[in-house]
Amino acid sequence: MRKKTVKDVDVKGKRVLVREDFNVPQDKNGEITDDTRIREALPTIRYLLENRAKVILCSHLGRPDGKVVESMRMSPVAARLGKLLGMPVKMSRDCVGPDVEKAASELKEGEVLLLENLRFHPEEEENDPKFARELASLADIYVADAFGTAHRAHASTVGVARYLPAVAGFLMQKEIEALSKALESPERPFAAVVGGAKVKDKTALLENIVGKVDVLLIGGGMVAAFLSIKNDKRARKEDETSGSVRRIMEQTRRRGIKLMLPVDVVAAKDANSPDTAKEVPADQVPDGWIIADIGPKTVQLYASELKNCKTMVWNGPMGIFEVPRFSAGTRGIAEAVARLKATTIIGGGSTAEAVEDFGLADKMTHVSTGGGASLMFLEGKELPGVAVLQDK
């Protein structure tokens, strides 16, 4: 990786501010239901503790919109982290201010302090310079380890780097290296599986990746736009979406890339009507109905194609997988990918959620912790939270 990491700086005796992504799901009683993001942060935290740093952790949790929301306090995270580390994790009642400064200054080597929810302050998402300076004043070094927020130019992801030496943590390093290798030096054949509801949400990704892959497999609701162009070359209505699809399909043809579209789908009257669902050939979706999933023949077709690939990147589910009737396509592809003897990279967000729900995350080479961040990376764009880190 071309950015400095925590191993490139001397942390002994230093106060180190670490931006983690502890935005974990909780139930109505405030119990953490999935601590994956906390566990992913452990290598960086343990390294700092072993090297006698004074560790100050910060994160957001939920969307409090710049106000203190009791149910979004970081105390459950502190408790879970303490159990995982096997040591007490100190907790502050704010993330800036005199009391926090005092707690940070009194921190001893090998101790951990977790700051209160950054987004209790509107200045965090505004990337307010004064707020960033206050955060930075707590420490000597800044470590960016929250890949899931690296696409946001916030005070804790970008602003603090103006005032402190900024390097990557191990999770950030792992994410960047896994995604970079897939895009820049994949073992071939290289396939991309791209799903999602709308073409416009994936246009930039498709246009960036189409010149890098050997096979492109399309799923999700956006299949409708591709099938419309494929089956009616005159297109009844030209708009931005159809223009993007035409451009992508033309690039695959010109570059000799194998473009695969569903041969059958699960159609339904709408997303809330699974009882109306039926499997139909891809070109026979009833007027006004939606494509809620790819069909079983398509799953077999895609799985067969993926068997030949040595590298695979997947971003976007094959259907509305949260609804059981519409989950078979996403599950089928996940199971096929889990069986591959290949490098398998799973984009974050709903794709990561799906493979985790199916109990297959540990069968993948890399499951990204960042939804928007991994999408932006796959689009070929520079992440603000990575750009500010020191170069090697």
Q: CA angle, corner 46, sides to 40 and 52, nearest 5?
A: 150
Q: Are 186 and 311 in contact (CB under 8 A)?
A: yes
Of 208, 253, 191, the C-alpha closest to 226 is 253
Whether the upstream peptide bond of residue 189 has omega within 30° of 0, thus cis, is yes
- Is 285 strand, coil or helix? coil
Per DSSP, the three-state class of 222 is coil
- CA distances to 172, 211, 231, 289, 293 from 221, in Å: 31, 23, 16, 11, 7
How many C-alpha atoms does 378 have within 13 Å on its Cβ side?
A: 29
Catalytic positions are: 37, 198, 349, 372
Q: Dump the DSSP string for 113-168.
A: EE---GGGSHHHHTT-HHHHHHHHTT-SEEEE--GGGTTS--TTTTGGGGTS-EEE
Q: Do the beta carbons of residue 313 and residue 193 sit within 8 Å?
A: yes
**CA–CA dist 246, 238 (Å, integer):** 10
